[in-house]
Structure formats: structure tokens, C-alpha cells
């Protein structure tokens, strides 16, 4: 059983058990940016046993000076290209970017807990 997670400086906690019945609302739904750093690009390409020069145009797009992971449309939902709805899992889980690892503890949500609760059913008031 996964324990409830807390982070210093955040007014909420997170229950990872909620992920089991959630269908990955954080990887799907509204279109968004999933930023990857240069090191993360190299790690994900390595994980997929791909050359970086092949990986970048296939899975990423440029947003200003950063790279973001592409999405695919599933009905009305925009899903991360690495999200697999059949297994409800991430195809690059071991190499997923920091942005994914640190969700739902993003600075952005510190002052937007109501918005976060609409996205993630695992959020608990503390």
C-alpha cells in the first residue's frame, strides 16, 4: 500500500492509491506541455534504444526554446504520446521527465489547489 505523500512548503498531500482508478488524468485530458531537458532527452532516447537525432523529431516538438513531448488525440482527450490507455501506464516510466515525477507537487499549484483538485483525485487537504 502506498503511503500518503507530503512535500515541504505545500498545503496539500497526495494519495498515490488514487492513481489506480484514475485513468491518468495528469497524462491525458486538456492539451499541455510536457517539458524535457537536454539530459532527459538523452535518457529517454537511451531508454528507447534510439538515436537522439531520430528520437527528437519523432516524439518532441519545440516550444520557444524548450522541447515538449508530443500528444496524440483520443476522442476529445489529448494524451501524451507515451501514455498507453490499454495498460493505463507510461511507456517511458523509468525515464519519464522530472515534470512527471514531481506532479502534483509543482510550484504552479501552490496557489492553485482548487485547479489541481479538478485534475487530480489524489489531492488531500492537510
Cβ neighbours, 10 Å, residue 96: 22
| Cis, bond preceding 119 (omega within 30 deg of 0) | no
Among 5, 13, 19, 50, binds ligand SF4 (CB under 6 A): 19
Helix, strand and coil in the chain, % to nearest 5: 35, 25, 40
Alpha-carbon gap, residue 9 to 6, rounded angstroms: 9
Binding of residue 18 to ligand SF4 (CB under 6 A): yes
Among 5, 22, 50, 113, binds ligand SF4 (CB under 6 A): 22
Taking the complex as a whole, how short is the minimal distance between the CB of residue 83 and ligand SF4, in angstroms? 4
Give the three-state DSSP class for 117: helix
Binding region for ligand SF4 (CB under 6 A) out of 1-9, 54-62, 97-105, 106-114: 97-105
Residues interacting with ligand SF4, by CB under 6 A? 18-19, 22, 24-27, 34, 69, 80, 82-83, 90, 92, 96, 100, 103-104, 119-122
Amino acid at each position: 500500500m502506498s503511503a500518503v505523500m507530503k512535500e515541504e512548503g505545500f498545503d496539500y498531500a497526495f494519495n498515490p492509491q488514487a492513481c489506480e482508478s484514475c485513468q491518468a488524468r495528469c497524462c491525458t485530458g486538456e492539451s499541455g506541455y510536457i517539458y524535457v531537458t537536454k539530459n532527459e532527452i538523452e535518457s529517454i532516447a537511451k531508454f528507447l534504444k534510439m538515436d537522439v537525432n531520430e528520437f527528437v523529431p519523432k516524439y518532441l516538438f519545440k516550444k520557444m526554446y524548450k522541447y515538449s513531448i508530443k500528444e496524440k488525440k483520443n476522442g476529445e482527450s489529448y494524451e501524451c504520446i507515451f501514455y498507453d490507455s490499454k495498460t493505463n501506464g507510461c511507456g517511458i516510466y523509468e525515464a519519464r521527465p522530472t515534470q512527471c515525477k514531481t506532479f502534483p507537487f509543482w510550484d504552479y499549484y501552490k496557489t492553485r489547489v482548487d485547479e489541481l483538485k479538478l485534475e487530480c483525485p489524489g489531492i488531500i487537504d492537510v
